[in-house]
Amino acid sequence: MSELSNSRRIWPSTNEPLRRAVRRLHWFRTAFISYTQEMEKRIGVECEVDEKKLAAIFIAWLRAVNAQKPSSAKARSAYFDFAASLMLRELIGNMPLKAKTTPQLVDENSAAAFWPEGYICTLFCLAVHDAVVKQEFNVPLPQRPPIDNIRSWWSFRENALEDSRFAAGFLQRLMGHEPNWAMPDIFTIPVEDG
Amino acid sequence: MLEHFKPDRLALREALRGLRYTVHTGGRMVLDHLSMASTGHTPALPGRHLLCDVENTAARLEAFGSDTIRFLLCEHTPSSRSMQALYELGFEEKQFARVVYDNLRLFLQQFGIRYAIVSELAARQAHARLPANLIDLPEHEAAALIASSLVDAGVIREGPVGLKSLRSKETDLAIAALLFWLLSDRSPEEDDQTRLAAADMALAVEDEIVAALKQKDKVALSALFEELAPHV
């Protein structure tokens, strides 16, 4: 799915830097809906999007991000990663998607087939993160662990449905970090940055 | 066309709007009843041809009434000025009332309120109640005062006559959404998208808005506008 993450055409046009655009509800909503439509085509599924939930998710995410924003500029890059994980926490905790069909274009044992809604939300957060980081820092993204391990997704779904904070840790792990599983949604400045 | 009516032109315009509303809702009600009757179990109803004739006549009457009144009103392109633009123009009463009238109607529709009239006259009264130094205040503080003033002036009226003010959770949210939208930084191309976002944003913080307006807590309302309006 990396080619989808890097595709600019799915993002709504904006004159602002993406880091600002993503903090606007009208951009966020349009981006989420466009991304979901692309993923529907890719994995052969049909989803419903609850736009009211999307607005509530956006506000909760915005408030969470603002509450923990570090003062140190050195922590900026790490905070971009963390902000993406908070976005997934909110999406999983108040799931705005509902798959109306079973994915037809993927293996039945794949993550996308196992939990299409969680899969789309996770990839959305990664895609937005990658687009923002690419624009802000203009550096290649680090190599990531494989994301299609079905056992990880099984554990992710079980745990996140019980406690949505787990979703933040899951995304941090997908980005190559080792999360603090006791408090995955509390930002700590990485030693090398602080 | 009504330019020579110097005295109370706005009051006349409001009356014509009320009339248009009555024609529109009356037409819609006839159509709704006919639609229900034609699919329901009403054996005493006239034949299908007659029903179609009445339905067409009602639709034509509604269209004629609305077109005629629109012609008499000489209404122009809706104004979508931002708060900043209103500030730059000196926050003039007529422009403010026009923006409220043109846009609050759209927010009411988004909150599912079909049977209501926005009073441009009441919007002017709301403007008159605002402090003289409003333009010196930060925009989010001014927005809180404006929202309260619009509520107090009863800018949203019950249809069809529009004399009685209408207040509910949805009308409070529509007014807050209007303010979120006026405060937002947007291009003309983004007017519609941001309007939807402003309404959803108001709904997402519904409890905070309703409580602040009910308690007339302008500090809380101002803080909410300051926090969220840049993110519409």
pLDDT tens-digit map of A117-139: 999 999 999 999 999 999 999 88
Tell me: do B68 and B129 sit in the same domain: no
Mean pLDDT of all residues in chain A? 92
Tell me: do B35 and B116 sit in the same domain: no
- The confidence score (pLDDT) of residue B10 equals 74
pLDDT tens-digit map of A57-95: 999 999 999 999 999 888 999 999 999 999 999 999 999
Domain count, chain B: 2
Domain-embedded: residue B2: no
Domain-embedded: residue A193: no
Sign, CA dihedral B122-B128-B129-B134, equals: positive
Which secondary-structure segment (H or E) carries B156? strand B156-158
- The confidence score (pLDDT) of residue A152 equals 94
Global pTM value: 0.83
- Please give, rounded to a whole number of angstroms, the shortest distance from the CA of B61 to a CA of chain A: 37
- Please give, rounded to a whole number of angstroms, the shortest distance from the CA of A135 to a CA of chain B: 20
- The confidence score (pLDDT) of residue A99 equals 98
Tell me: do B179 and B207 sit in the same domain: yes
Domain-embedded: residue B176: yes
Domain-embedded: residue A187: no
The residue-averaged pLDDT of A3-17 equals: 75
ipTM of the complex: 0.90
CA B82 remoteness from chain centre: 16
DSSP label at residue A138 = -
Domain-embedded: residue A181: no
Q: How confident is the model at residue B43 (pLDDT cuts 50, 70, 90)?
A: very low
Q: Does the CB of B151 have a partner CB in chain A at under 8 Å?
A: no
Sign, CA dihedral B112-B113-B114-B118, equals: negative
Q: Which residues pair with A99 in a beta bridge?
A: A47
* CB of B208 closer than 8 Å to CB of A63: no
Q: Does the CB of B192 have a partner CB in chain A at under 8 Å?
A: no
- The confidence score (pLDDT) of residue B30 equals 60
The percent of residues in chain A predicted with pLDDT above 90, rounded, is 83
Q: A23 and B231 in contact by Cβ < 8 A? A: yes
- Selected residue with higher pLDDT from B152 and B69: B152
Mutate to test the interface with A, among B180, B187, B200 (most CBs of A within 10 A): B200
Say yes or no to pLDDT of A174 above 70.
Answer: yes
Tell me: do B38 and B113 sit in the same domain: no
Q: Does the CB of B193 have a partner CB in chain A at under 8 Å?
A: yes
- Selected residue with higher pLDDT from B18 and A149: A149
pLDDT tens-digit map of B117-150: 999 999 999 999 999 999 999 999 999 999 999 9
- Which chain B residues touch A26 with a CB distance below 8 Å? 190, 193-194, 196-197, 232
Domain-embedded: residue B4: no
The residue-averaged pLDDT of A169-175 equals: 95
Domain count, chain A: 1
**Residue B158: φ, ψ to 5°:** -75, 135
Say yes or no to pLDDT of B27 above 50.
Answer: yes
- The confidence score (pLDDT) of residue A194 equals 43
Q: Does the CB of B177 have a partner CB in chain A at under 8 Å?
A: no
Domain-embedded: residue B203: yes
Tell me: do B164 and B227 sit in the same domain: yes
Residue-number span of the structural domain to which A113 is assigned: 2-174
Q: A55 and B201 in contact by Cβ < 8 A? A: yes
Mean pLDDT of all residues in chain B? 84
- Which chain B residues touch A30 with a CB distance below 8 Å? 193
Tell me: do B103 and B184 sit in the same domain: yes
Domain-embedded: residue B3: no
Residue-number span of the structural domain to which B208 is assigned: 83-231
Domain-embedded: residue B78: no
- The confidence score (pLDDT) of residue A3 equals 45
- The confidence score (pLDDT) of residue A145 equals 82
Which of these three, B47, B73, B99, is where a domain ends?
B73
